[in-house]
Structure 1
Amino acid sequence: MRRRTFAASLGAAAVAAAAVPGTAAAKAGGRCEDAYAWRNAVVNGGGYVPGIVFNETEANLIYARTDIGGLYRWQEETQTWKPLLDWVGWDLWGYTGVVSVASDPVEPNRVYAAVGTYTNDWDPNSGAVLYSDDYGDTWGVAELPFKQGGNMPGRGMGERLAVDPVDNAVLYLGTPNGNGLWRSLDHGRTWAAVEAFPNAGDFVQDPSSDYSDDNQGVIWIDFDLAGDRIFVGVADPDDPLYVSADRGRTWQPVPGAAAALGTADGNRTIPKQASFDHENGHLFIVTGWDPGPYNGAPATGRGGSVQRLSLATGEWTDVTPAYNPIGTIPGFGGLTVDRKRPGTLMVATQNNWWPDEILYRSTDSGATWETSWDYVWDANWSWPPERTDRFTMDPAGSEWLSFGNVTDGPAYAVKHGWMIDALAIDPHDSDRIMWGTGATIWGTEALTQWDSQGALVGWDSEAGHQIALPVDPFTVAVRAEGLEETAVQDIAALGGTLVSAMGDLGGFVQTDLDKAGVQIRRPNWTSGRGLDFAGLNPDIVVGTGDVEGETDGHVGVSTDGGATWLTTARLEGVAGGGNGGTVTVSADGSVIVWSPGNGTTAPVFSTDNGQTWTPVEGLPAGAIVRGDRVNPDRFYAFAAGQCYASTNGGLAFTATGATGLPAEGPVDLRAVPGKRAQLWLAGGKADAIYGMWRSTDGGKTWRRVRDFEEADAVGFGRARNRHGYPTIYTSAKAGGVRGIWRSTDEGRNWVRINDDAHQWAWTGKAVTGDPDVYGRVYIATNGRGLIYGDITD
């Protein structure tokens, strides 16, 4: 294939991409005659966006990478993001952790993604580089012999993947854990280590943890277009920067780099991000004392610096902003240079937890800086000071970004963000900037108004105190529409209302699936864990989640279909944190049974909406409990291969004596709406008992559903016929094919309703149908949000 150069890029023809790997269409006892359309129940964001990449030559071509939720491409006409990795299946779920993305500046149709979620044994697979020749609509896969960490510490550094603009068939990849620098000579199809590269890095954030003990390795690659040199940043404070002047054949340490990049007020630091100002001949680098994204200020000194290298002279200049309204700058995350305005650059703090992050902007190559906000002190230096801002934050469409907080002096309810590693000025438009946070993407198309605002704070010489100078603030708004990165833990479809429990966000109540709805903030769940509703009165909804502090209980109760919520009493001996566990409610809503998630406390029940709790008799800690959907006196439970039943409203349980059920691995136990004593159970563990079972006698006996060799979640929706059995949905494996399966005849026949282009990686947490809409199914994903599908006639 003829290679292209930067100069010859415009008008280059697209090359056909390899097809997405997948499985053939499959069935288990029948053929699905219904076509499905798949969408997200809208949240707008929800997770960490560590990278935003603008293509250098094609306007409006933008990619956003997430740490567990895949890769997205911007759609300018709708101002939304399009997901590009929904084809990733169950077995390769780690491919949704995107370590880096590279958009080819020569042939913009080409895009590459380095993928792999964990470098430890949480992810069983090695990493890969995905390559596409059609803007990410289809992909090929180049497997790598090592793991990559899209959800590991340091995932906001980089970019670790880069296309050589001089010869765009050549790509470089920086890797962790001593694997060094890798290169492809054939547009990402095959890869080999760059044997001449001398340093694989040695920086380990925390050797005591199997999550943060990996060597951060080779962090980023960038290209000096004027000097035809390649620069590489390495996680080694003693030798952090290398350069090649002969197209990667030989490499030398950059003089002075260790002194400039490897220390900051005595703290050992690493070069986290870099960006070239080609017109002025500068390379800017931000450093940090650990890779992030959670780091605050170190024990002593500043947490990082901003350094400028003159490419002509080799001189290093420390251009770190000297001023932070709160004192010491904790460190830096994102860095971006304005390609249209040489000398203009911006950096973001990380993590300026209170009262807010700061964006710094310089128009003189870092000689001076202005802040995005500042304090205004009165003559008495009263606390808290006022605050003045260059822009206002508009969370329209994502009002939940306040997280239930209210503005408290300089700490606004809606913040600039946190974990800001993704920070990018559009190379084609100086007015457009986007930045990613731990929850969303913010952006504006009025950025250059900053430069006409002048100073934020002045001095009233007569009054003897500071004053806020008048500025005309511009607006920054949510730019995450279409990007859905939440880890859904449970779903309750009430008919016209959808309630979801979500990791990190607590949960949402939605009456319109095209809008984010109302975030559940009381209890103030850090992560929602489980949901249930009363079978005879769906207005009564219960949920459980992880909580912090000593005020809210883990369980929340709503008696109006999720519109309002009450918190419950804390249970003695069950601390906050990750102890949400599971919860259920009787068919009439009179009894709540909660099974704490601490692994040591047995389930408890309440007859007063959780104001008091009483231990349940006969159940072990960790049991999952479900109320019968028709009989308020009946509850069912499962733990370690044993099924239990209660006939006295959940006060006491006895084992049913059933055998042959999974004793290992997670299970999903669900009672059938409108049917007494009918239960379905899915779950187990590979290489042990694993699959799906059905009971029609309250758990005394169970029949295995032989269609499935594996099954993980099961739920129910509106029957096909008016008086028929509820439609059953499951995330399962049949005939070697993973998918979302549906049965309309009590499980005698099953059809796969999703396809190879819509797999959403791991979908084993929860699935349910809609009680009012036949065929509608809701699917919990681990990073692609809450997916729902409707039949398209």
Structure 2
Amino acid sequence: MNKKIIFIIFLLVSTVSSFAQFTFKNIPIGGGGFVTGVISHKTTGDIYCRTDVGGAYRWDAVSNKWVQLLNWIPDGQGGYMGVEALAIDEQNPNNIYMLCGTSYINNGATAILKSTDKGNSFTVVDVTSKFKAHGNGYGRGNGERLVVDPHNSSVLFCGTRANGLWKSIDGGVTWNLAWNGVTSTPNENGICFVLFDPSTASGGTTKTMYIGVSRKGAGNANFYKSTDGGVTFTPISPTTDFMPHRAVLQGTTMYVTYADSEGPGTNNAGRVFKLNTSTGVWTNVTPLTWGNTSLSYGGVDIDPANVNRVVISTTGVYNNNQYGTAWGDFIYFSTDGGSTWTIKNGSNSTFNNNGIGYTAGQVNWAECAVFDPFDSNKVRVVGGGGIFTCPNITATNPVWKLDVIGIEETAFLDGISIPGGPFVCAMGDMDGFLLNDITTFPQQLLQPNVGTNRSVVFAAGNTNKLARSSDGGKQVYYSADMGATWTGCTTTKGPGGRLALSADGGTIINCPNDANFSQQQKVYYSTDNGTNWTESTGVAVWGAIPVADPMNSNYFYIYNPSDGKMYVSSNKGVSFSALGNPGYTSVPWSTTLIRPVLGYEGHVWVPLANNGLKYSIDHGQTYTTISNVTYCRSIGIGKAAPNAAYPTLFIWGTVGGVKGLFRSTDKGVNWIRINDDAHQYGGIEMIVGDNNVFGRAYLAVQGITYTEDLSTLGIENNTVLSNNQIVLYPNPSSKTINLTVEKPNEIVRISVFDMLGRSVETIEQSDIKSEMALGTALTPNIYIVKVFGTNFTKSFKIIKK
């Protein structure tokens, strides 16, 4: 048998049976956020979608799911997850562009992201100084503001919210103002879409184009036409009573949808107009329902194979009894160019939850409706909960499927991993879930179903006892059976906010939302499951997040990022006092989640952003600084490693000059970087460690992302590792590892990484007769060796002496 033998000269770690290999996955929840647009390439069939806060996705037809494209976004650029527009180059479908930015994140930093490989990698063009996007702003579901000239891949136009129309002639690298006839609008939505007429090419560029402007009222033109490639524009508005949302053009036929506001919320009034571009004649083709009146309209598309087949959607309308069970928007279909319309998602339609059992299927905020580029009967409609697909829009009784496999945009607000029990999460808009299995879609929300839950906690010494805080319903709930059932507290002191539950489960601390947003938020405690509440004395912290000592039921802690002090109660929440001072966080307006430590009384860890990471072991009185952590945005604490003396720490921070997700099993003395540059998620604001599985932590990004340590494969002499045809032969006497790949002519690449995840040496071998030594020039330290083949990856940890 031909074999390739590679000698790696290192001293083995004593725990060589553990690989250091990490993975990132999503707990499958499904959709849960506003998909603001679906964009396709009519020739290749490539399909993309954009979201308001959850990045952008490409449809993978082979695996039948959506694939996230923006996991690589680094800390400090998290606002780019708000994708305001997406454009595909018609001449070269490998080229895609995104207009990204969120006004309240990173000071509104805005960029054009360009990919030349369908979103597998991007370059970033910062345009903040020229114009700003707001992917989560009102009007975010309107048409595409960013477009590529269908006849010239170098020419792009971008309509902006407040700075007019901009143009690039070098493939999106540089941008200049093209037209400022309209800049800002009263609703701060500006130019809400740009549309080319492909039939008007001359001199290598398209000459005729249209723009929609998000405004209404007498004298406020809102639809413009240019015949000179965007140099000048002339108003040709069919109405100024409503605001345009989207437009679509095929041949000489154009449709434009209008609503009474920029959306996604509307007031049930609007129009749909049809334009013959050769004659300039507009026709009102608005469907009339509900007493012969119109509604607000958003989505519109023309069948690429038949100009007379048109689909439109209402937006922000809750008058349609969909499937007979959920009230939301209407989807209309016409086969005669808009002369007549048929409702395709009424009570005669059915909902396919696609295995996501807790969903009701409501199509709301339907700002975009499109035909599949390769199947004229298939229609996709966006909504506040994801994407809904109808495989046959012509059916008498259409079926609408929640088509969100791979899309995760739920808001993970809090979570607990109960020792010996389930993972329970509190979610925005959808209560939360009790998850005994994190690999399958949940079938039921936490009950009663009351909307957003802000906080969920458990009693460390009585793990059957849980509590959660909600924006609605009874506002505070408790459970005596590990979250299986919940009882609303008899009284409440206000909605939302955060809770803490004493170790014995006897005391609930409640810090409800301060409706007036003052700097003096009150703290309350109850010793009778919320029948009575008493105000705690000595503490008033805006946005207070209390935590309980997991060992001593008398102690609670509240950190105040505004004055840098730790407020401690040693009498079950009756009173608090400023016992110690870990110092200011460098971003006092942000959420600071301090963490106690299961099994250790008085231990509290405090992330302080640019001021690093500190911890106390004396109930918050004095603090030790973790010197090798210079930045710490968040911390989570989970199950200890085998034979470790302290629970596992997870942080999003900076260690050794490298920013990322790190893990320590020795109380912060040493750190291993878990993530790589492909998994940065714009930074991670909340981490919840798992108390049952070593190496697992839950991250508040794209719903609930979790990371796991795959160090479960043993390395023993002459042991063949599963299905990879690799044999590892440790040889302690010669201090070497011999890797034998039992595949003739297999090309193997070996990379060595330091504990921060930086590649320090790489070598490839394809000659099966030669041998090589790797790592002889490395300085003494701990390293990770990864072996890559055509169909395998294996990793192990070594120490260089």
Q: Which of 246, 250, 254 matches 1:283?
A: 254
Q: Are residues 243 and 624 of structure 1, via their aligned partners in 2, closer, same or farther at CA, if it must alter by over 3 Å?
A: closer
Letter in 2 for 1:308: K
Letter in 2 for 1:488: F
1:561-710 correspondence to structure 2 within 5 Å: 561-572=482-493, 574=494, 579-598=495-514, 600-622=520-542, 623-639=544-560, 640-658=563-581, 660=583, 662=585, 664-665=588-589, 666-683=591-608, 690-710=611-631
Give structure 1 stretches of 5+ with no counterpart.
Answer: 1-31, 206-213, 264-268, 298-302, 375-387, 403-413, 454-472
Q: Are residues 39 and 369 of structure 1, via their aligned partners in 2, closer, same or farther at CA, if it must alter by over 3 Å?
A: same
The question of whether the paired residues in 2 share the 8 Å contact of 1:340 and 1:428 is answered with no
Q: CA deviation at 1:309?
A: 0.8
Q: Does 1:502 align with 2:481?
A: no
Q: Which moved more, 1:660-669 or 1:44-53?
A: 660-669
Q: CA deviation at 1:175?
A: 1.0
Partner of 1:787: 705
The question of whether the paired residues in 2 share the 8 Å contact of 1:202 and 1:236 is answered with no
1:40-189 correspondence to structure 2 within 5 Å: 40-59=26-45, 61-118=46-103, 122-144=105-127, 145-177=130-162, 179-189=163-173
Q: Does 1:242 align with 2:224?
A: yes
Write the distance in 1 (CA, Å) between the matches of 2:191 and 2:102. 17
Letter in 2 for 1:47: G
Letter in 1 for 2:615: R
Letter in 2 for 1:738: K
The question of whether the paired residues in 1 share the 8 Å contact of 2:607 and 2:614 is answered with yes
Write the distance in 2 (CA, Å) between the matches of 1:657 and 1:325. 64
The question of whether the paired residues in 1 share the 8 Å contact of 2:286 and 2:294 is answered with no
Q: Does 1:543 align with 2:468?
A: yes
Write the distance in 1 (CA, Å) between the matches of 2:136 and 2:79. 9
Q: Tell me, what secondary structure is at the counterpart of 2:328?
A: coil
Q: Which moved more, 1:668-677 or 1:588-597?
A: 588-597
1:178-257 correspondence to structure 2 within 5 Å: 179-194=163-178, 197=179, 199-205=181-187, 214=188, 216-228=189-201, 229-237=208-216, 238-248=220-230, 250-253=231-234, 257=236
Letter in 1 for 2:565: Q
Write the distance in 1 (CA, Å) between the matches of 2:582 and 2:693. 36
Q: Are residues 235 and 73 of structure 1, via their aligned partners in 2, closer, same or farther at CA, if it must alter by over 3 Å?
A: same
Write the distance in 1 (CA, Å) between the matches of 2:669 and 2:403. 46
Q: Are residues 657 and 744 of structure 1, via their aligned partners in 2, closer, same or farther at CA, if it must alter by over 3 Å?
A: closer
Q: CA deviation at 1:590?
A: 2.1
Q: Are residues 735 and 504 of structure 1, via their aligned partners in 2, closer, same or farther at CA, if it must alter by over 3 Å?
A: farther
Q: CA deviation at 1:333?
A: 1.3
Partner of 2:452: 527
Q: Tell me, what secondary structure is at the counterpart of 1:400?
A: coil
Q: Are residues 81 and 674 of structure 1, via their aligned partners in 2, closer, same or farther at CA, if it must alter by over 3 Å?
A: same
Q: Which has the larger radius of gyration?
A: 2
Partner of 2:733: none
Q: Which moved more, 1:623-632 or 1:583-592?
A: 623-632
* Deviation sequence 1:182-202 (CA, Å, 0-9, x none): 2222222222221xx352245
Partner of 1:309: 275
Letter in 2 for 1:133: T
Write the distance in 1 (CA, Å) between the matches of 2:415 and 2:197. 50
Q: Tell me, what secondary structure is at the counterpart of 1:94?
A: helix
Q: Which of 493, 500, 509 matches 2:417?
A: 493
Q: Are residues 353 and 736 of structure 1, via their aligned partners in 2, closer, same or farther at CA, if it must alter by over 3 Å?
A: farther
Q: CA deviation at 1:362?
A: 1.1
Partner of 1:272: 245
Write the distance in 2 (CA, Å) between the matches of 1:252 and 1:160. 16
Partner of 1:484: 408
TM-score by length of 2: 0.79
Partner of 2:691: 771
Partner of 2:369: 423
Taking only the aligned residue pairs, the percentage that are identical comes to 32
Letter in 2 for 1:272: H
Letter in 2 for 1:535: A
Q: Are residues 590 and 307 of structure 1, via their aligned partners in 2, closer, same or farther at CA, if it must alter by over 3 Å?
A: same
Q: Are residues 564 and 313 of structure 1, via their aligned partners in 2, closer, same or farther at CA, if it must alter by over 3 Å?
A: same
Q: Are residues 516 and 556 of structure 1, via their aligned partners in 2, closer, same or farther at CA, if it must alter by over 3 Å?
A: farther
The question of whether the paired residues in 2 share the 8 Å contact of 1:731 and 1:738 is answered with yes
TM-score by length of 1: 0.80
Q: Which of 286, 304, 319 matches 1:320?
A: 286
* Deviation sequence 1:730-764 (CA, Å, 0-9, x none): 12233454321211101122222111110111411
Q: CA deviation at 1:525?
A: 4.3
Write the distance in 2 (CA, Å) between the matches of 1:492 and 1:521. 14
Partner of 2:21: 35
Q: Are residues 536 and 427 of structure 1, via their aligned partners in 2, closer, same or farther at CA, if it must alter by over 3 Å?
A: same
Q: CA deviation at 1:220?
A: 1.5
Partner of 2:654: 733
Q: Which of 425, 438, 441 matches 1:516?
A: 441
The question of whether the paired residues in 2 share the 8 Å contact of 1:523 and 1:556 is answered with no
Partner of 1:348: 313
Partner of 1:295: 266
The question of whether the paired residues in 1 share the 8 Å contact of 2:356 and 2:443 is answered with no
Letter in 1 for 2:209: I
Write the distance in 2 (CA, Å) between the matches of 1:122 and 1:514. 31
Q: Tell me, what secondary structure is at the counterpart of 2:147?
A: strand
Q: CA deviation at 1:493?
A: 1.5
* Deviation sequence 1:417-468 (CA, Å, 0-9, x none): 211112111122112111111112111212222xxx3xxxxxxxxxxxxxxx
Q: CA deviation at 1:650?
A: 3.0
Write the distance in 2 (CA, Å) between the matches of 1:660 and 1:135. 46
Q: Are residues 133 and 661 of structure 1, via their aligned partners in 2, closer, same or farther at CA, if it must alter by over 3 Å?
A: closer
Write the distance in 1 (CA, Å) between the matches of 2:292 and 2:317. 10
Q: CA deviation at 1:722?
A: 4.0
Q: Are residues 519 and 545 of structure 1, via their aligned partners in 2, closer, same or farther at CA, if it must alter by over 3 Å?
A: farther
Q: Are residues 657 and 103 of structure 1, via their aligned partners in 2, closer, same or farther at CA, if it must alter by over 3 Å?
A: closer
Q: Tell me, what secondary structure is at the counterpart of 2:553?
A: coil
Partner of 1:5: none
Letter in 2 for 1:204: P
Write the distance in 1 (CA, Å) between the matches of 2:503 and 2:511. 18
Q: Tell me, what secondary structure is at the counterpart of 2:76?
A: helix
Partner of 2:344: 372
The question of whether the paired residues in 2 share the 8 Å contact of 1:95 and 1:116 is answered with yes
Higher strand share: 2
Q: Are residues 723 and 183 of structure 1, via their aligned partners in 2, closer, same or farther at CA, if it must alter by over 3 Å?
A: closer
Q: Are residues 531 and 327 of structure 1, via their aligned partners in 2, closer, same or farther at CA, if it must alter by over 3 Å?
A: farther
Letter in 2 for 1:73: R
Q: Tell me, what secondary structure is at the counterpart of 2:307?
A: coil
Q: CA deviation at 1:595?
A: 1.4
Q: CA deviation at 1:150?
A: 0.5
Q: CA deviation at 1:621?
A: 4.7
Q: Tell me, what secondary structure is at the counterpart of 2:629?
A: coil
Write the distance in 1 (CA, Å) between the matches of 2:295 and 2:271. 10
Q: CA deviation at 1:371?
A: 1.7
Q: Does 1:357 align with 2:282?
A: no
